[in-house]
Amino acid sequence: MNLNEITGQKEIIKRLKKLILDDKVGHAYIFTGAKGIGKRTIAGAFSHMLLCDMPDEHGPCNKCTPCRLWIEGSNPDFFKIEAGGDNILIDEVRSMQNEIIVKPLYSRRKVVLIADAEKMTVQAQNCLLKVLEEPPLYAVIILTSSNYEALLGTIRSRVTRFTLSRYTKDEMKEIIVSNIIFNTKHENSDIQFILNYSDGIPGVALSLVSSTDFIKMRDQAIEVAHKLNNMKDIEVLDIYGFFDKNRDDIGIILDIITTFYRDLVVIKTGGTENMLINSDKKNKIVSEAGNYSIERLINNIEIVEAARTSIKQNVNYQLNIENMILRLQNQVN
């Protein structure tokens, strides 16, 4: 994908192309924004155009030797670092350091892309800093990061930052519709929910569109939230079974339950139906709203978020979920 083929982010794309066409490319750039916003996509397209011998306003030529090698995935003038685990270690940056001092073979530039740069250890960041302080004239170093503040200030001060904004619903729909899975698995009501839920982040939307189980899991999660309000003698183990079966997706499930409570707050406070995330469930939400107070809904959201935090802190999963269920149920009694 080249820069002209990317949906949205028009101002950033315009600036990137102008840098190349005006021959004013600097030595270091960083693309920041939410996880799934498309940082790697734009960074990759920018890298391709940087390496092209004959770029124009339409993007890379796709005909020169650097372009052909890029398309084949074998351009030796491009070096990429990705986290194999939780961190990017100093040895990986040292390998790049050794690579970047070798002049480019086919292009006028050598491009390095470090994805998820916030995962670099402090030692790795300090190693990168040495390259940023005295880069070879032909080198361009590109970083992507979902947590810009996690980078050393000395690195942040040496890179030009581009922050990707969330996409409009029209842009999101264009991205989803261009995905072939859209036409085979989901109803329009499902797609509308996915647009609302993904909140302008294409990576979230596409992961949901490609999931065969997500819509079913969402319906089940909302039904669980409904049962917690409408059953007096709830069997914790029965409800826990749903959470146990879907523990790999617990983050998404807690998100869904939170959106359900949030939508109830919208209706309770006089909001309109087009403000709902679960807009395809509007009849259910409107009919349920009278069973809750705003105070209780806010408490429920806080209980769910507390459970999420505990899970991230590796608190015993079963005890944590059962505690959440009981606390939500106690809101009824």
Domain ranges of the chain: 3-163, 213-330
Q: For the CA atoms of 223, 215, 242, 273, what is the dihedral angle to 10 degrees?
A: -30
Residue 178 pLDDT class (50, 70, 90 cuts): confident
What's residue 85's pLDDT?
A: 81
Task: Look up the CATH number of domain 213-330.
Answer: 1.20.272.10
Q: What percent of the chain has pLDDT over 90?
A: 72
Q: Is pLDDT larger for residue 230 or for residue 38?
A: 38
What's residue 25's pLDDT?
A: 98
Does pLDDT of 185 surpass 70? no
Residue 9 pLDDT class (50, 70, 90 cuts): very high
Task: Look up the CATH number of domain 3-163.
Answer: 3.40.50.300
Q: Look at 131-140, 144-153, 183-192 and tell me which has the smallest mean pLDDT.
A: 183-192
Side chain identity at residue 249, one-letter code: D
Residue 191 pLDDT class (50, 70, 90 cuts): confident
What is the helix, strand, coil percentage profile of the chain, to 5?
A: 60, 10, 30
Distance CA 63, CA 71 (A): 10
Does pLDDT of 156 surpass 90? yes
Distance CA 82, CA 93 (A): 10
The number of beta carbons lying within 10 Å of the beta carbon of residue 50 is 24
The reply to whether 3-163 and 213-330 are identical in fold is no
Per-residue pLDDT of 106-141, as tens digits, reads 999 999 999 999 999 999 999 999 999 999 999 999
- 32: region left, alpha or beta (phi > 0 left; psi from -120 to 50 alpha): beta
Residue 215 pLDDT class (50, 70, 90 cuts): confident
Does pLDDT of 326 surpass 90? no
What's residue 1's pLDDT?
A: 84
Side chain identity at residue 242, one-letter code: F
What's residue 209's pLDDT?
A: 79
Does pLDDT of 207 surpass 90? no
Mean pLDDT of 275-296: 91
